[in-house]
Amino acid sequence: MSRATTPAWTPVCPLDRLDEDRGVAALVDGVQVALFRTADGLFAVDNLDPVGDAYVMSRGLVGSRGEVRTLASPLHKQVYDLTTGRCLDVAGVTLRRHRVRCRDGLVEVRLRQEE
Amino acid sequence: MSERGGRLVVVGNGMVGQRFVEALRARDRDGRWRVTVLAEERRPAYDRVRLSAVFDGVDADELSLHTPDDGVDLRLGEPATGIDRARRVVTTATGEIRYDALVLATGSAPFVPPVEGTDLPGVFVYRTLDDLTAIREHARGRHTGAVIGGGLLGLEAANALRLLGLATAVVEFAPRLMPVQVDEAGGAMLRRYVAELGVTTYLGVATTALRAGPDGAVAALALADGRTVDAELVVVAAGIRPRDELARAAGLPLGPRGGVLVDATCRSADERIWAVGECAAVDGTCHGLVAPGYATAEVVADRLLGGAATFPGADTATKLKLLGVDVASFGDAHGVTAGSLDVTYTDPATRSYAKLVLSDDARTLLGGVLVGDASAYPALRASVGGPLPAPPLALLAPAGGPGAGAGALPAGAQVCSCNAVTRADLDAAIAGGATDVPALKECTRAGTSCGSCVPMLKQLLDAAGVRQSTALCEHFDLGRQELFDLIRVRGIRTFSRLVAEHGRGNGCDICKPVVASILASLGAGHVLDGEAASLQDTNDHFLANLQRDGSYSVVPRIPGGEITPEKLIAIGEVARDFRLYTKITGGQRIDLFGARVDQLPQIWRRLVDAGFESGHAYGKALRTVKSCVGDTWCRYGVQDAVGLAIALELRYRGLRAPHKLKSAVSGCARECAEARGKDFGVIATETGWNLYVGGNGGFRPRHADLFATDLSTEALITMIDRFLIYYIRTADRLQRTAAWIEAMDGGLDHLRSVLVDDSLGLCADLDAAMARHVAGYSDEWRDVLEDPVRLRRFTSFVNAPDVPDPSITFAVERGQPVPARGAPPGPDRRRQPVALGLPEVRR
- Give the integer Cα–Cα distance in Å for B652 and B716: 13
Nearest Cβ partner of A52 from B795, B796, B823?
Answer: B823
CA-based end-to-end distance of chain A: 10
Q: Which fold has domain A8-109?
A: Rieske Iron-sulfur Protein (2.102.10)
The answer to whether B522 touches B487, Cβ cutoff 8 Å, is yes
Would the pLDDT of B753 be above 60?
yes
Instruction: Give the least confident one: B31-45, B114-128, B389-403, B440-454.
Output: B389-403
The answer to whether B752 touches B707, Cβ cutoff 8 Å, is yes
- Give the integer Cα–Cα distance in Å for B843 and B824: 18
Q: What angle do CA B721, B725, B729 make, to 5 degrees?
A: 170
pLDDT at B403: 39
pLDDT at B458: 78
Instruction: Give the least confident one: A97-101, B242-246, B522-526.
Output: B522-526
Closest chain A residue to B800 measured between Cα atoms?
A: A27
pLDDT at A2: 45
Inter-chain residue contact B534 with A51, CB threshold 8 Å: no
Q: Confirm or reject CATH 3.90.226.10 for domain B317-399, answering yes or no.
A: no
Cα B164 to Cα B139, B145, B157, B217, B681: the distances in Å are: 7, 10, 11, 18, 20
Which H or E element spans position B342?
Answer: strand B341-347
Instruction: Return the DSSP state at B401.
Output: -
CA distance B826 to chain A (A): 10
Instruction: Give the least confident one: A14-23, B406-415, B794-803.
Output: B406-415
3-state secondary structure of B555: coil
pLDDT at B671: 93
**Residues in contact with B837: Cβ distance below 8 Å, sequence separation at least 6, in sequence order:** none
Residue B385: pLDDT band (50, 70, 90) is confident
The answer for B 488-527 residues in CB contact with A (under 8 A) is 505-509, 512-513
pLDDT at B494: 92
The answer to whether B517 touches B537, Cβ cutoff 8 Å, is no
The answer to whether B424 touches B432, Cβ cutoff 8 Å, is no
3-state secondary structure of B541: coil
Q: Is the dihedral of CA B384, B387, B393, B394 positive or negative?
A: negative
Instruction: Give the least confident one: A13-22, B107-116, B394-403, B671-680.
Output: B394-403
Residue B565: pLDDT band (50, 70, 90) is very high
Chains A and B: how many Cβ contacts under 8 Å?
105
pLDDT at B389: 72
The domain limits of chain B are 6-107+243-304, 110-239, 317-399, 406-468, 495-541, 543-618, 622-794
Would the pLDDT of B318 be above 90?
no
CA-based end-to-end distance of chain B: 58
Would the pLDDT of A4 be above 70?
no
Distance of CA B734 to the CA centre of its chain: 19
CATH class of the domain comprising B110-239 = alpha beta
- Give the integer Cα–Cα distance in Å for B299 and B297: 5
The answer to whether A65 touches B504, Cβ cutoff 8 Å, is no
The answer to whether B390 touches B383, Cβ cutoff 8 Å, is no
Per the DSSP assignment, residues forming a β-bridge with B556 are B614
> What mean pLDDT do residues B349-366 have?
83
pLDDT at B299: 95
Look at residues B456, B422, B411 and name the one whose alpha carbon lies nearest to residue B312: B422
Closest chain B residue to A53 measured between Cα atoms?
A: B822
Nearest Cβ partner of A61 from B537, B546, B822?
Answer: B537
Which H or E element spans position B299?
Answer: helix B290-303
> Which one has a higher pLDDT value, B57 or B800?
B800
pLDDT at B39: 96
- Choose the mutation target among B511, B531, B536, B538 for the interface with A, i.e. most A CBs under 10 Å: B538
Inter-chain residue contact A63 with B549, CB threshold 8 Å: no
Q: State percent of chain B over pLDDT 70.
A: 93
Side-chain half-sphere exposure of B101, counting CA atoms within 13 A:
24
Side-chain half-sphere exposure of A55, counting CA atoms within 13 A:
24
Inter-chain residue contact A12 with B548, CB threshold 8 Å: no
CATH superfamily of the domain spanning B406-468:
BFD-like [2Fe-2S]-binding domain (1.10.10.1100)
Residue B6: pLDDT band (50, 70, 90) is very high
> Which one has a higher pLDDT value, B586 or B419?
B586
**Residues in contact with B86: Cβ distance below 8 Å, sequence separation at least 6, in sequence order:** none
> What mean pLDDT do residues B457-469 have?
77
Inter-chain residue contact A75 with B546, CB threshold 8 Å: yes
The answer to whether B637 touches B629, Cβ cutoff 8 Å, is yes
Residue B672 annotated in ligand binding: yes
> What mean pLDDT do residues B709-718 have?
95
Would the pLDDT of B770 be above 60?
yes
Residue B400: pLDDT band (50, 70, 90) is very low
Residue B284: pLDDT band (50, 70, 90) is very high
The answer to whether B669 touches B678, Cβ cutoff 8 Å, is no
Nearest Cβ partner of A27 from B512, B537, B800?
Answer: B800
The answer to whether B269 touches B252, Cβ cutoff 8 Å, is yes
- Give the integer Cα–Cα distance in Å for B158 and B180: 18
> What mean pLDDT do residues B246-258 have?
95
pLDDT in tens, B535-552: 999 899 999 999 999 999
**Averaged pLDDT score across all residues of chain A:** 91
**Averaged pLDDT score across all residues of chain B:** 88
Is residue A86 within 8 angstroms of chain B, CB to CB?
Answer: no
Would the pLDDT of B609 be above 90?
yes
Q: Is the dihedral of CA B744, B746, B749, B751 positive or negative?
A: negative
Look at residues B292, B285, B276, B304 and name the one whose alpha carbon lies nearest to residue B106: B276
Q: Which fold has domain B622-794?
A: Sulfite Reductase Hemoprotein; domain 1 (3.30.413)
The answer to whether B298 touches B308, Cβ cutoff 8 Å, is no
The domain limits of chain A are 8-109
Residue B835: pLDDT band (50, 70, 90) is low
**Residues in contact with B311: Cβ distance below 8 Å, sequence separation at least 6, in sequence order:** B264, B265, B266, B282, B283, B292, B295, B296, B299
Nearest Cβ partner of A12 from B509, B550, B798?
Answer: B798
Residue B828: pLDDT band (50, 70, 90) is very low
CATH number (3.50.50.60, 3.30.70.100, 3.30.1370.100, 1.10.3720.10) of B6-107+243-304 reads: 3.50.50.60
- Give the integer Cα–Cα distance in Å for B305 and B783: 72
- Radius of gyration for chain B, computed over Cα atoms and rounded to the nearest angstrom: 31
Residue type (1 letter), B481: Q
Residue B568: pLDDT band (50, 70, 90) is very high
The answer to whether B683 touches B689, Cβ cutoff 8 Å, is yes
pLDDT in tens, B618-627: 999 999 999 9
What CATH architecture does domain B543-618 belong to?
Answer: Alpha-Beta Complex (3.90)
pLDDT at B664: 97
Inter-chain residue contact B513 with A66, CB threshold 8 Å: no
Residue B820: pLDDT band (50, 70, 90) is confident
Cα B739 to Cα B263, B421, B440, B720, B731: the distances in Å are: 45, 25, 18, 18, 9
